[in-house]
Amino acid sequence: MIKKDFNAIYKSISSVSLHQFPEETLRSMYETYSYKLKELLDELKIMEKNQKENLDAHDGLQAENLRIKAKKVQSQFNEIEDEKARIWKVLQECILKERLIARFGSSWLVNLKETFIMVLIVFVLSLLFYDLTHPNLSLEIKRLFFFIDTGCCIIFLTNFFYELRLADSKKWYWKSHIIDFVTSIPFPADLRIFRTGRVLRLARLVRLARLTRLLRLFRIIFFFWRGMDQLSDVLNMKLMKKSFFYAMIVLISGGVLIYFAERGAGNSVSNVNDSIWWSFTTLVTGGFADIHNPLTAGGRILTVILIIAGMILVGVFTATLTSILVGNESEEINSLKDEINNKMNKLDKKIDKLIKER
């Protein structure tokens, strides 16, 4: 019964995250961290003054000690600055959400809007995927896809500028949602739908337009990326989150680039499905799957880059996951060490006392 109550209380306490705090609390936390940064700056200035005095006095030992202390202060400064930036981001999200609720009338309608946008994203990506994997579609189907895509992009842009107008910090919104803006720009799937002489002169831009449309694949990644912030409040997932994010970028970019580099070389990479699968296996297994040997120089260079990136990203992801899983055990080990040290200190005192009594 006691254990059950303890676990319930612990779960209640640990489930609290920054996203549940009101605006006033977040602003107070932001100001507190700003004050801590100023304190560390003042401390570093004093250390700089002492460092000069030690160097003038040729006291190398004290100068080295100050250098080590300054390094620790820098580490504290970076940690507090990262936490301050995270609080600022959550604060801006809180302000934007409250203003959206005030405009829509209820949080339910705001959540419905987000769900609708998410469904449209998946729908547009499905059309894009179908278009890329079926290059022999008729002109009528391509035209229909273009009009549907353009209509969805208008909705995305409307939502973007509406939220931008409500955001407290325009700079923060642009920085956090720039991928939403870029991927909301409508591009034709194929410029052949415009049968005019001037447009046909732009045929060389077809590949660029298609590559730009592929950026929309990153939109759904950013959608879930922002959703992982609440999970990072519970677990220390900063490195894991970054490694996963960069892995997705490398995966999709590698698949697209190898498709354009190898599709005319007469090998197995003949469509986007094969190229994305090749990119995944090369990134995760380091090329040991050997499903495709690139024939072009660009493809081979890209393979080397993907293998090196895969070793780094998979290593960081695995190490971070391991540290999360064994984190509690490490805390128990440190606690046990402290307890042993305390007992040893008490034992030393008793031994010294007995020696003095004799």
Distance CA 108, CA 26 (A): 23
Share of the chain above pLDDT 90, in %: 18
Is residue 215 predicted with pLDDT exceeding 70?
no
Distance CA 48, CA 97 (A): 44
Give the range with max mean pLDDT: 159-168, 206-215, 293-302.
Answer: 159-168
Is residue 126 predicted with pLDDT exceeding 70?
yes
Q: Which two tokens stand for residue 26?
A: 């977040």
Q: Which two tokens stand for residue 112?
A: 């419905």
| Confidence (pLDDT) at 231 | 46
Quickly state the pLDDT bin for 303 (edges 50, 70, 90): confident
* pLDDT, greater one: 212 or 8: 8
Distance CA 337, CA 334 (A): 5
pTM for this structure?
A: 0.60
Q: What is the mean pLDDT of residues 328-341?
A: 62
Coil vs helix vs strand at 303: helix
DSSP, residue by residue, 200-228: HTTGGGHHHHHHHHHTTHHHHHHHHHHHT
CB 302 within 8 A of CB 261: yes
Is residue 214 predicted with pLDDT exceeding 80?
no
Share of the chain above pLDDT 70, in %: 74
| CB neighbour list of residue 18: distance below 8 Å, 6 or more residues apart | 26, 86, 87, 90, 233
Is residue 351 predicted with pLDDT exceeding 50?
yes
pLDDT, tens digit, for every residue of 75-101? 889 889 988 988 998 899 899 999 999
Coil vs helix vs strand at 260: helix
Q: What is 235-325's CATH number?
A: 1.10.287.70
pLDDT, tens digit, for every residue of 195-213? 333 333 333 333 334 444 4
